[in-house]
Amino acid sequence: MSQTTKDIPVNIYRPSNPFVARCVLNESLLRPGAPGDTRHIKIDFSGSELRYLEG
């Protein structure tokens, strides 16, 4: 296991101690009238200990 993987905090939020993030973008990726609903959603996790690792 790499050092980067070891540094990732896990299980830091629970139902009794949730982190509430803010949705900053929620837009449809389909043209009007297209069947279904596919969305691009962007969430602001600032203020949390959550980190994104590529891959």
Q: 1-55: per-residue pLDDT in tens?
A: 555 666 777 888 999 999 999 999 999 999 999 999 999 999 998 988 887 777 7
> Is 17:2 a contact under the CB 8 Å cutoff?
no
pLDDT on residue 49? 82
Alpha helices (H) along the chain: 3-6
pTM for the predicted model, two decimal places: 0.61
pLDDT on residue 3? 57
The one-letter amino acid code at 49 reads E
List the chain domain ranges.
Answer: 11-44
pLDDT on residue 38? 97
Other beta carbons within 10 Å of 13 = 13
